[in-house]
Structure 1
């Protein structure tokens, strides 16, 4: 995923970084409307490349989890409706995508946000979340 995808605290949805200005970022919504807006120094901006989820071993990068969901759902939006899903449905979905996730530290709201962000990205045209070269390099490191 070449684009830098951002989450801005207090603003719904996800944003793609367009450019950097003096003391602010110019971002564009990920979706059909492609609305551009500034994100100032006071906005809490987080790159999805820097986000990870708790597992029983090490933390797992969010992009790898998105790729697991994409593989499970064949690159389509999720079949589960995060707004109406029960706690058990959310736990089952998460276990099918990331079997060793930490059930004590990953809350239902985290799983809902994960599903919401994944659906936004897929509807925005993103289907590859992990570069093949990165995945191959990580597999080689684990094998050694």
Structure 2
């Protein structure tokens, strides 16, 4: 599921991949308006399935971090408000989820983005962050 959820540089929020064209992608905003827009090759687009977070000894795939947040929050929205929280509160929150995160390479803006992405996914009913892996294991 995370492979079809996209982050587009310069555009807020997350987008769901709808279709692929010759030189563009058609994506749908995961915000309230569900607006569909074209995304061209000159825009930086990254799938959530390709993102990882730095730890002291390795990189942890984003889906594992999202699963940890889901377990901490019992499947609900994040208990911390990213707009009001101070930098140290955000770092403390992430240390509960990912204890060995690299404090030098994971910035406060990254933590804010992670929490807001988690909230967007939960609001849109996407809580099975391990879906692709389960489907691959079932196919084998």
TM-score scaled by length of structure 1: 0.87
The gaps in structure 2 that reach 5 residues or longer are none
In the TM superposition, what is the alpha-carbon distance from 1:59 to its structure 2 partner? 0.3
Q: Is the 8 A contact 1:32 1:124 kept in 2?
A: no
1:81 has 2:66 as partner = no
The answer as to whether partners of 2:3 and 2:47 remain within 8 angstroms in 1 is no
3-state SS in 1 of match to 2:77: coil
What residue ranges of structure 1 are gaps of 5+ in the alignment? 138-144
Are the counterparts in 1 of residues 2 and 48 from structure 2 also a CA contact under 8 Å?
no
The 5 A counterparts of 1:52-63 are: 52-63=52-63
User: 2:124 maps to what in 1?
Assistant: 124
Structure 1 residue ranges, 4+ long, deviating more than 6 angstroms after superposition: none
Question: C-alpha separation between the residues in 2 aligned to 1:4 and 1:67?
Answer: 17
Please give the residue correspondences for 1:28-107 in structure 2 after superposition, counting only pairs within 5 Å. Answer: 28-107=28-107
Determine if contact 1:54/1:101 at 8 Å carries over to the other structure. yes
Counterpart secondary structure, 2:27:
strand
- TM-score of the aligned structures, taking structure 2 as reference length: 0.90
| Partner secondary structure for residue 31 of structure 1 | coil
CA distance change for structure 1 residues 56 and 2 in 2, over 3 Å: closer, same or farther? Answer: closer
Q: Name the CA distance, whole Å, in 2 between partners of 1:103 and 1:53.
A: 11
> Is 2:9 aligned against 1:9?
yes
Instruction: Report the count of equivalent residues.
Output: 135
Map 1:103-114 → 2, pairs under 5 A: 103-114=103-114
Separation in 2, partners of 1:117, 1:2: 11
